[in-house]
Amino acid sequence: MRAEELKGSLDGMLLAVLNNAPMHGYAIIAALRERSNGTVNLPSGTVYPALHRLENADLISSSWDSSAGRRRRVYEITPAGESALRETRANWREIIATMRSVVLSEEPT
Q: Give the amino acid at 98.
A: T
* Exposed e or buried b per residue across 46-80, where buried means at least 16 C-beta atoms within 10 angstroms of its C-beta: ebeebbeebbeeebbbbeeeeeeeeebebbebbee
Q: Give the pLDDT confidence score for residue 53 in this predicted structure.
A: 95
3-state secondary structure of 54: helix
Residue 20 dihedral angles phi and psi, to the nearest 5°: -80, -40
> Per-residue pLDDT tens for 24-81?
999 999 999 999 999 888 888 889 999 999 999 999 999 998 887 888 999 999 999 9
All domains of the chain, ordered by start, with CATH? 3-102 (1.10.10.10)
Q: What would the mean pLDDT of 95-106 be, rounded to a whole number?
A: 88
